Chains A and B, each alone.
Chain A
Amino acid sequence: MADRPLPTIYPETEFYWNGAKEGKLLLNSCPSCDKAYFPPRPFCPVCGNRDVEIKQASGKGRLYSYIINHLPAPGYEPPFTVAVVMLDEGVKMVANVLDCPADPEALVLDMPLEVTFEQRGDVAIPQFKPAGGVA
């Protein structure tokens, strides 16, 4: 899958991608708001607090929304699923749903998902799959 798009990584997001390399989904979290947020940035987008933390997410979430993409994308074989996952921590992120057919019958909204990682060259990409391997 080396020809799939790679993220351009910046100093503020390096921790996220380093965590992924170690099989961890890391989120920024604001101690004042007691809430995680996404995507990463070194201040809380709610209160502006710069004194934010990095926490490992549970890796659990649910299928919040999706499309089945029939348009081309480098390294992808259409049709493939592009999903928005709602993490248990209350933040949304985009992922493909792995180990699951790109079929509305299999993609049931709110079904439980768990994080997994896809290797693209040196970069590990956070992905999601049906929790417990049930499609």
Chain B
Amino acid sequence: MTRASIAIVGAAETTRMGKVPELSQTGLHADAALNALADCGLTLADIDGVATAGHDVAEIIQYLGITPTWYDGTSVGGCSFITLVRHAAAAIETGLCKTVLITHGESGRSNNRSHRPLFPSMQQQEFESIYGPLFPPSRFTLPVMRKMKDDGLTVEQIAMVAVVQREWAALHPRATAHDPLTVDDVLNSKMIAYPFRKLMCCLVSDGGGALILTSAERAKDFPTKPVYLRGMGGESAEGPMISQMESFSSSKAFRVSGKMAFESAGITHSDVDHLMIYDAFAHLPIYGLEDLGFVKPGEGGAFIAEGHTRPGGALPLNTNGGGLSYMHSGMYGMFALQESVRQMRGVSPAQVKDAKLSLVHGVGGMFSAASTAVLTTEDQW
């Protein structure tokens, strides 16, 4: 019997999401942090560990008036918040701090910030950007034509990812997009980077979220239903030059991170009741399903198109609608975590009945990094 050692006791998103012109990016961090503290009945004085990504962690510490004994500013892109959950768990376990606040805020749409949370890569600039792929839609999509040829993945299957996730978003009042989509709607939307059309690309939103983690033995002192970490999750990285991916059909970082998370949790795929796979673009859940081992290589597109991940399907995936329909601030990983926490608390508007284990998997940059976490309702297993 293994006892849980770490719990998520506080979780909240910003008060508003989507278009929030009245708040700066720093303000979005703070709004999310204060909401998460209120969620679990703590105050800023109770926090001794702070972590964030895409923003100077020291500025967040100063803005909130916290005096920490531990901080982490690991910034590898949108999965960083999943990575930070893992790092925070290690810090709490080793006694570096007791109560960690992880914040995310991003003024992706209103651009109320001094700079974008860029992750500059010298070699990416020197050998890729000079050929014109300057934005995520024209970089992240580069491997997909190869995968289509090698694996038989079709553009209709990629479109189905957006269609199915919209079905989930329709159940979520806070989702940005609710109207039903058809494959034709997706395939007739504006061409962005062939074969990718607008509705295969994520939203651009303002918003944020925050989590509060502490040791599992303290978890029952809080008013919220504890959500426990099962195992220590996983992380890996392959690097920012997408042209240098070892395989264009599979992400090495996904495979390494996912395998570590499954092994550390001591679970098999059939134990997973609920799944979040970061979807900045519609091909990512397909790569994720394959690289995490839920389906065989090359079968992810058909699996989603057949309806296994839609409401009522055997493997509920991206139940908030994902980056495609819920929101996407730029570094979406925090929102995948928030939906996993809601599902484990049993309070998601798209609640999966009797769900007691959720796996959340994120990508950082353009297949540059990955991180995975396993959340559960159970304090021992």
Nearest residue (CB) in B for A92 is B243
Q: Which of B80-88, B144-152, B171-179, B206-214 contacts A (4 or more CB under 8 A)?
A: B144-152
Indicate if B300 sits at the interface (CB-CB under 8 A). no
Q: Whole-angstrom distance between the alpha carbons of A13 and B123 in the complex?
A: 10
Q: Whole-angstrom distance between the alpha carbons of A110 and B248 in the complex?
A: 14
- Also in contact, A82 and B194, with CB within 8 A (given A8-B125, A109-B146): no
Indicate if B99 sits at the interface (CB-CB under 8 A). no
Contact status B193-A5, CB under 8 Å: no
User: Which residues of B have CB within 8 Å of A95?
Assistant: 131
User: Which residues of B have CB within 8 Å of A109?
Assistant: 145-146, 149
Indicate if B228 sits at the interface (CB-CB under 8 A). no
Q: Whole-angstrom distance between the alpha carbons of A13 and B130 in the complex?
A: 15
Indicate if B381 sits at the interface (CB-CB under 8 A). no
Indicate if A57 sits at the interface (CB-CB under 8 A). no
Contact status A79-B194, CB under 8 Å: yes
Q: Which of A7, A66, A73 contacts B134 (CB 8 A)?
A: A73
- Also in contact, A67 and B126, with CB within 8 A (given A38-B244, A95-B131): no
- Also in contact, A64 and B132, with CB within 8 A (given A70-B193, A109-B146): no
Contact status B132-A7, CB under 8 Å: no
The 8 A CB mask of B105-143 against A (1 = contact, 0 = none) is: 000000000000000001101111111111101100111
Indicate if B196 sits at the interface (CB-CB under 8 A). yes
Contact status B142-A67, CB under 8 Å: yes
Indicate if B347 sits at the interface (CB-CB under 8 A). no
Q: Whole-angstrom distance between the alpha carbons of A29 and B248 in the complex?
A: 23
Question: What is the interface size of chain A, counting residues whose CB is below 8 A from a CB of the partner?
Answer: 34
Nearest residue (CB) in A for B144 is A65
Indicate if A55 sits at the interface (CB-CB under 8 A). no
Q: Whole-angstrom distance between the alpha carbons of A70 and B189 in the complex?
A: 13
Contact status B131-A70, CB under 8 Å: no
Indicate if A131 sits at the interface (CB-CB under 8 A). no
The 8 A CB mask of B147-178 against A (1 = contact, 0 = none) is: 00100000000000000000000000000000
User: Which residues of B have CB within 8 Å of A93?
Assistant: 127, 243
User: Which residues of B have CB within 8 Å of A5?
Assistant: 129-130, 132, 134
Contact status A67-B131, CB under 8 Å: no
Indicate if B192 sits at the interface (CB-CB under 8 A). yes
User: Which residues of A have CB within 8 Å of B248?
Assistant: 64-65, 84
Contact status B126-A13, CB under 8 Å: yes
User: Which residues of B have CB within 8 Å of A35?
Assistant: none
Q: Which of B132, B192, B196 contacts A80 (CB 8 A)?
A: B132
Indicate if A9 sits at the interface (CB-CB under 8 A). yes
B193 CB, nearest partner CB in chain A, Å: 4
Q: Whole-angstrom distance between the alpha carbons of A82 and B131 in the complex?
A: 7
Indicate if A48 sits at the interface (CB-CB under 8 A). no
- Besides A69-B193, A109-B146, 7 other A-B contacts (C-beta < 8 A): A7-B125, A39-B244, A66-B145, A67-B142, A68-B191, A70-B190, A125-B130
9 pairs of A and B residues whose beta carbons are closest in the complex: A68-B194, A73-B132, A65-B146, A67-B193, A7-B126, A69-B138, A5-B130, A65-B145, A39-B127
Chain A contact residues, CB within 8 Å of chain B: 4-10, 13, 38-39, 64-73, 76, 79-80, 82, 84, 92-96, 104, 109-110, 125
